[in-house]
Structure 1
């Protein structure tokens, strides 16, 4: 019996070892999730082997934002966001605001969020969510950072709030977009960016997106896994443990490209260029004013 340790690539079935035709940016990876604790290094190796060269690590509260920054310091090609998710909006305090403001001074923090509105679960009340969201809009404006937004069943209210702030906030991406055509066009009319995930691979819930994705201008579209969540349901092989990871992003790109009637290479290149510009990844943010227009 061999005692050889399997390589990181061998931990994925061969049918799931995709390679992007152009370098990719995963704009939403929850790598501080406990499921990555034991194999973060192999996960990053698999991502790079797949062509996913840059990852934005999502910070959904103070603890996870700090962890995201720490990971970004340890690994090239990683950046962090910092915000309070609407589920946790009831915990927004002046102390939380001050801690977030401190995080935004770090050049590795490239966006405010994940923040927004979730009227689907309402783990925090709508009033608490709106209060925390507007506070984070103000922080984004004050720090010249883009906004990384979560929205579920709150499209009309989200659009109304963002319309009032649009001149003050540099850029906004609605991450993991899953809503309808009307909501999509509200966001596009506000000149927002749209993040798409493996939701489009879900024949139960995401089939409506297939008819919408061609409406999104190429310079407004970015891609993400939202791992370890939202594992694509139409993968060509089963994945042990069913944990999503960045190495599978090329499969999502393939699916989106199909429904947009464009090549994988074209979508990979355009989405990455859009993400690099949106998050100012090629800007020296260590210099005063480096992260803002």
Structure 2
């Protein structure tokens, strides 16, 4: 077992790809030194599942978010907001989200996305909870909505950041954390992000797998179990980040672990 501790701030452990072997996934994470994981809620049902997993595996460093992803915003209504309120009041739920805007795929109409995003920001502010944010191809609309609430929120992380320099500095100006995934390990799509990584202030950096998605492209053979991403691969992403920033993996692990505690209010 690794003696270096890592924090994975974005794990979709309730995804169907993990059904039947969550025990093994968590054990591999433990052996890799991933001792803190934030389980992502992207709908009311998946937020409930994230909370259940935290309770099913006590002592594993699991925490949950509760929220409605912009892809699911078409299902957002007063009943969903009330159910989220109940989930956000549970002690294992330490952040609100995943929430935000996604104008890349538009799985939900944009007015529905904006309505759900603003309502969830208000709900998080009322409870003094940090927010777990999603933004894709929507920066110009996302930024003013977030800015209107940022001073009322204890912390915010722009999860799976893949945007450009202007967006990065806009979020840093709002004192947001920046979540970096295995996207940075992709020599095709991740080159621009890799160039930006050194510009992220040490106190703002967080690392995540977004498992089971975004499997790092540069992993050696053989491929991982079921060709899916897992929390145990977080140190691989961390080593890539450390190299880009001119740091040791151990120093980056300690830094991002401490930053996760700040973000979550531990």
TM-score range, shorter chain: over 0.9
Task: Work out the number of aligned pairs and report it.
Answer: 263
| Partner residue in 2 for 1:246 | 231
Given the alignment of the two structures, is residue 256 of structure 1 paired with residue 241 of structure 2, yes or no? yes
* Higher Cα Rg, which structure: 1
CA distance in 1, matches of 2:235, 2:165: 25
| Partner residue in 2 for 1:3 | none
| 8 A contact 1:20–1:250 mirrored in 2 | no
| 8 A contact 1:146–1:170 mirrored in 2 | yes
TM-superposed deviation, 1:85: 0.3
Alpha carbons of structure 1 residues 265 and 120: separation in structure 2 relative to 1, 3 Å: same
Higher mean C-alpha deviation, range 219-228 or range 160-169: 160-169
Q: Which runs of 5+ in 2 are unaligned?
A: none
| 8 A contact 2:130–2:154 mirrored in 1 | yes
TM-superposed deviation, 1:22: 2.2
Given the alignment of the two structures, is residue 269 of structure 1 paired with residue 251 of structure 2, yes or no? no
TM-superposed deviation, 1:241: 2.4
Provide the TM-score with structure 2 as the length reference.
0.97
Given the alignment of the two structures, is residue 179 of structure 1 paired with residue 163 of structure 2, yes or no? yes
Match of 1:74 among 56, 62, 76: 56
CA distance in 1, matches of 2:122, 2:32: 37
Q: Which runs of 5+ in 1 are unaligned?
A: 1-18, 283-293
| 8 A contact 2:2–2:31 mirrored in 1 | no
Given the alignment of the two structures, is residue 90 of structure 1 paired with residue 74 of structure 2, yes or no? yes
Given the alignment of the two structures, is residue 230 of structure 1 paired with residue 214 of structure 2, yes or no? yes
| Partner residue in 1 for 2:154 | 170
TM-superposed deviation, 1:153: 0.5
| 8 A contact 1:58–1:65 mirrored in 2 | yes
Match of 2:11 among 26, 29, 36: 29
| Partner residue in 2 for 1:119 | 103
Alpha carbons of structure 1 residues 270 and 169: separation in structure 2 relative to 1, 3 Å: same
CA distance in 2, matches of 1:220, 1:21: 24
Q: Which runs of 4+ in 1 moved over 6 A?
A: none
Q: Provide Cα deviations, 1:31-57, integer angstroms capped at 9, x if missing partner.
A: 001111111101101000000011111
CA distance in 1, matches of 2:141, 2:245: 28
CA distance in 2, matches of 1:277, 1:269: 13
Alpha carbons of structure 1 residues 260 and 23: separation in structure 2 relative to 1, 3 Å: same
Which residues in structure 2 correspond to 1:52-63 (within 5 Å)?
A: 52-63=34-45
3-state SS of paired residue (1:98): helix
TM-superposed deviation, 1:238: 3.0
Higher mean C-alpha deviation, range 159-168 or range 252-261: 159-168
| 8 A contact 1:21–1:268 mirrored in 2 | no
Which residues in structure 2 correspond to 1:95-114 (within 5 Å)?
A: 95-114=79-98
CA distance in 2, matches of 1:101, 1:110: 13
3-state SS of paired residue (1:212): helix
